[in-house]
Amino acid sequence: MSQSEEVHVFATLVAQAGKEAELRAVLSGLVAPTREEPGCLHYMLHEDPQAPANFYFFEAYKNQDAVNAHMKSPHLAAALGKAGELLAAKPVIVSTRLVAGG
């Protein structure tokens, strides 16, 4: 696998005021099953310590097919169903390819 095939995804999710703990729990529940996906290289959830309503995923997959499989996974669909009512805004998701510094 070459680095040029890897896809990195950055996702930003913002909780509604007072819903931070609920959203954290839903998002945390994605980590273990996603890491079990065959094409997943990294899947990490971060929280902004200065703005605890802001959550960030850093994801790395072997290729675009692995990203597509993740997006169709039952655990992601279930989590997004639960998270929808907890979000202050639509998630921002950016897919990238590494240019330098790997």
- 2 found inside a domain: no
- 3 found inside a domain: no
Lateral strand order in the sheet of 7-14: 40-47, 54-61, 7-14, 92-96
CATH code of the domain containing 66: 3.30.70.100
Query: Can you give the pTM of this predicted structure?
Result: 0.91
| Tens digits of residue pLDDT in 50-75 | 999 999 999 999 999 999 999 999 99
- Please give the average per-residue pLDDT across 67-89, as a whole number: 96
The total domain count for the chain is 1
Which contacts qualify for 78-81: CB closer than 8 Å, 24 or more apart?
79/26, 79/27, 79/29, 79/30
Domain range for residue 31?
12-90
| Tens digits of residue pLDDT in 26-38 | 999 999 999 999 9
> Mean pLDDT score of the chain, rounded to an integer?
94
- Please give the average per-residue pLDDT across 23-27, as a whole number: 98
Q: What is the per-residue pLDDT for 100?
A: 85
- 45 found inside a domain: yes
What's the full length of the chain, in residues? 102
- 36 found inside a domain: yes
